[in-house]
A and B are shown apart, each in its own frame.
Chain A
Amino acid sequence: MQLAVFWGCKILTSQYAYEMSVRQVTPKLGVELVDLKEVNCCGNPIESVNRLATIYMSARILALTNEIGLRELILPCSRCHFTICETQYLLATDKKLEEKITSMLREENLNYTPDIKIWHTVDLLHDNIGLERIRESVKREMGGLKFASHIGCQAIRPSYMKRVDNAENPRKLDRLIEALGAESIEYPEKLDCCGAALLFSHQEASLSLTGAKLRALQERRVDGLVTSCPSCHIMFDTKQENSAALIGSKLSIPVIYYTQLLGLAMQIKEEDLGLHLNKSPVDAIIEKIEKRSGRTLQF
């Protein structure tokens, strides 16, 4: 299956580990990723500045997908996923807006088509590739490991338009973790926001949200926090130390992208998954997996 891919600014300019791990695991599951010819920001942060500009920017990503002749697009970033899905929803319900955006895109000879199917890493793996195929790809089982999942606000809300998972009880990421043989815990803070969007205006409040969630998880003694959105990952991984300093706790929680964890289960080399770029202590996860792997079948 061929899929167009738009990574989004955060992944393209700093969250290289997510890009590396997605590029590593998808071919093993029969998916070929095709990059767009050029990229622009999806418009998510610009929504606060000018909403029309945001709609134009995200419609342009759909038009660029059209340009390379593909009908399906994967957006590994939850914020891009929200913005581009919302544009698709708005343009489908507002003909006048659609005409305006279409004419803006036509200035570059780009064509907007409403029928592009949008995926996120989580629903692509869960709904399209399927848990069975994921289970079959596992070479090192992760039995005994206990993770918490964080899918991210913008991937699941609002449910009146197409979203990745259920808004009140998202379970797809948990089932994907369980497909690797690990446990995924239910915890009261599961739907709490990482605070990333506040980083522009209220840095301390933003970091205290991150810290509060991580502290709650530390008390639950999980082996790691599994993410699927670059913005959330930056908060929990890259900014873990800053948030610990702000809330006055010592935090030491390994934070790992689901695709990195999947790659580890597939026995892909750590540096190919970008695990050396995670700032949180992910070595602890790798050690635990290796300790167990003596007991699992080698294929």
Chain B
Amino acid sequence: MSLSDLTKMSEVNKELYMKVLRKLAEEKLFGCFQCSRCTGGCTAFKLLELTPNTVMKLTKLGFINELVDSEIIWTCASCLQCTERCPQRASPYHVIIDLRNLAVERQTKVPEGYLRAVSHILETGLMQPMEKVTAKNMEIFERDTLNLPKIAGASEKFKAIFLETLGGI
């Protein structure tokens, strides 16, 4: 589904619109005047057809359900060019992040990598498990064979607060 299709699809959900706009107001969404400098510098535009200025416009118009359900919000490469370039200090990156948060809250399709990261953090505090690495001579190394110090994972209290903040996913 492309973004241009979205505009033809549905009615504005007013209640959701207000709720999200209040949150997005912090990202200075309303400063956007569609100059499209963000899209001009967007890493994901070339490859995945993300046009940050359209995301800004659609959010402003209230097509939030559509954006949250769309895969387009997951194409951002987090290069921060849009945030850097915006002459109005609006930040498409942060709007996309808020839309992603909303997608997670509503349990729409979230890329698996993020959920894996969450479950690793709940296990050890870090986003991925310790890896064994293979050197060029095929010898396998890990932290202690490389004389790197042991790392203490995060406390149980941290994991509990983290889980609570996520709303018990």
Q: A-side interface residues toward B, CB under 8 Å?
A: 9-10, 12-14, 16, 19-20, 23, 35, 37-41, 45-53, 56-57, 60, 82, 104, 107-108, 153-154, 157-160, 167, 192-193, 195, 197-202, 205-206, 208-209, 274, 276-277
Select A46's contact among B117, B135, B146, beta carbons within 8 Å. Answer: B117
Binding site of A, secondary structure by majority: helix, strand, loop or mixed? Answer: helix
Task: List 26 A-B pairs, Cβ < 8 Å.
Answer: A12-B126, A13-B126, A13-B131, A16-B141, A16-B143, A16-B146, A20-B148, A38-B153, A39-B126, A45-B113, A46-B117, A46-B127, A48-B101, A49-B100, A50-B165, A52-B165, A53-B165, A56-B161, A108-B158, A192-B43, A195-B43, A200-B117, A202-B47, A205-B47, A209-B77, A276-B135
Q: Would you give the shortest CB distance from A85 to chain B, in whole angstroms? A: 12
Determine the chain B residues whose CB is within 8 A of the CB of A53 once the complex forms. 162, 165-166
Assess A154 versus B165: contact at CB under 8 Å? Given A49-B114, A277-B141: no
Those of B126-169 within 8 Å (CB) of chain A: 126-131, 133, 135-137, 141, 143, 146, 148-149, 151-155, 157-158, 161-162, 165-167
Q: Is the CB of B155 within 8 A of A38?
A: yes
CB distance from B46 to the nearest CB of A (A): 9
Which of B6-14, B53-61, B62-70, B81-89 lines the interface with chain A?
A: B81-89
* Also in contact, A41 and B121, with CB within 8 A (given A193-B79, A276-B137): yes
B157 contact from A51, A107, A193, A205, Cβ within 8 A: A107
Number of interface residues of B (CB under 8 A): 58
- One of A49, A52, A60, A277 near B118 (C-beta < 8 A): A49
Q: In the complex, which of the residues B110, B143, B149, B153 contacts A49, with contact meaning CB atoms closer than 8 Å?
A: B110
Find the B residue at minimum CB distance from A50.
B166
In chain B, what residue has the closest Cβ to A36?
B152
Other-chain residue from B114, B143, B165 in contact with A45 (beta carbon distance below 8 A): B114
Inter-chain contact A49/B166, CB cutoff 8 Å: yes
Q: Are A56 and B113 in contact (CB under 8 A)?
A: no
Q: Is B97 an interface position by the 8 A CB rule?
A: yes
In the complex, which residues of chain A have a beta carbon less than 8 angstroms from the beta carbon of B131?
13-14
Report the nearest A residue to B41, measured CB to CB.
Answer: A191
**B48 contacts the other chain (CB 8 A):** yes
For the complex formed, measure the closest distance between the CB of A76 and the CB atoms of chain B, giving whole angstroms: 14
Contact (A107, B161) CB under 8 Å given A45-B127, A50-B101, A50-B166: yes
- Chain A's closest residue to B48 (CB) is A205
